[in-house]
Amino acid sequence: MLSSIVRPMVNTQIKLLAKTRATRPTLVKIIAKWLGFLGVEAQVTHLDIAEEKIQVSLIVSQPDASADEDWQNILQHLKSSKSPTEELEPELVKIPPQQKIKYQRLLAYAIQINNPDRSVNWESIYPKLKLLGLEESMLMGIKSALKVPQNIDRLVKDLDADVAALALSQTASIALFDRQVNPEEYRVLQTLIEVMTNNC
């Protein structure tokens, strides 16, 4: 079930990455997410300990479902980047202001359906959301959206394809907080894939 969600998500991330002169740190974040979903074959070439953390070097192959042209664009962007740590863009996609509320409500809905039988404990969910790289203003918007029920059909109406791709990635991460995907989470992930497909 999960592989039918993960593969389109990885392919979409490749397409988004190919459209921008993405920085190495951004790519590292994406690779880490891929590994979390086990959606990309990667080979560890070096492992060390640095300041109480594990340092890993990886070789990542082109994902099976991605286009050769997109992959070559990404390689070319990396070759032409000036520095391994340069920061050109903090995100793959800038969320338009009018789409930001929809995005926050989508993530709130993903949290609500992750465990529908219990009310959301913000203090316990907040650290997990921080690990997803969400900004504080975004987190506060999600917290506010959690106070009211959300409707997936209304949320995806007029949703941008690129924002749907971001929401798909984060929604899949939220779904895996409990190491499983329930039927409603699966329906939401499939709905976001349809939005991406129909609006591209």
Tell me, yes or no, whether 72 and 102 share the same domain.
no
Tell me, yes or no, whether 65 and 120 share the same domain.
no
Tell me the residue range of the domain where 32 lies.
Answer: 3-80
Tell me, yes or no, whether 138 and 184 share the same domain.
yes
Cα angle: 47, vertex 134, 85; to 5 degrees: 45
Q: What is the pTM of this model?
A: 0.62
Domain membership of residue 86 (yes or no) is no
Tell me, yes or no, whether 65 and 104 share the same domain.
no
The pLDDT value given to residue 66: 75
Which residue, 52, 80, 108, sits at the end of a domain? Answer: 80
Which residue, 37, 55, 80, sits at the end of a domain? Answer: 80
Tell me, yes or no, whether 55 and 129 share the same domain.
no
Structure tokens, 49: 């300990």
pLDDT in tens, 1-54: 555 666 666 676 677 667 666 545 566 666 666 665 655 667 667 767 788 876
Tell me, yes or no, whether 107 and 187 share the same domain.
yes
- Token look-up 């032409």 returns 80
Domain membership of residue 152 (yes or no) is yes
The pLDDT value given to residue 134: 85
Tell me, yes or no, whether 61 and 127 share the same domain.
no
The pLDDT value given to residue 133: 81
Tell me, yes or no, whether 47 and 139 share the same domain.
no
For residues 44 and 133, give the distance between their C-alpha atoms in angstroms, rounded to a whole number: 24
The pLDDT value given to residue 62: 80
Domain membership of residue 185 (yes or no) is yes
- Token look-up 């895996």 returns 176
Number of structural domains (the chain) is: 2
**DSSP sequence for 97-138:** HHHHHHHHHHHHHHHHHHSTTS---HHHHHHHHHTTT--HHH
The pLDDT value given to residue 100: 92
Domain membership of residue 42 (yes or no) is yes
The pLDDT value given to residue 140: 95
Residues of the chain with pLDDT under 70: 1-10, 12-13, 16-17, 19-41, 43-44, 47, 54, 64-65, 82-93, 199-200
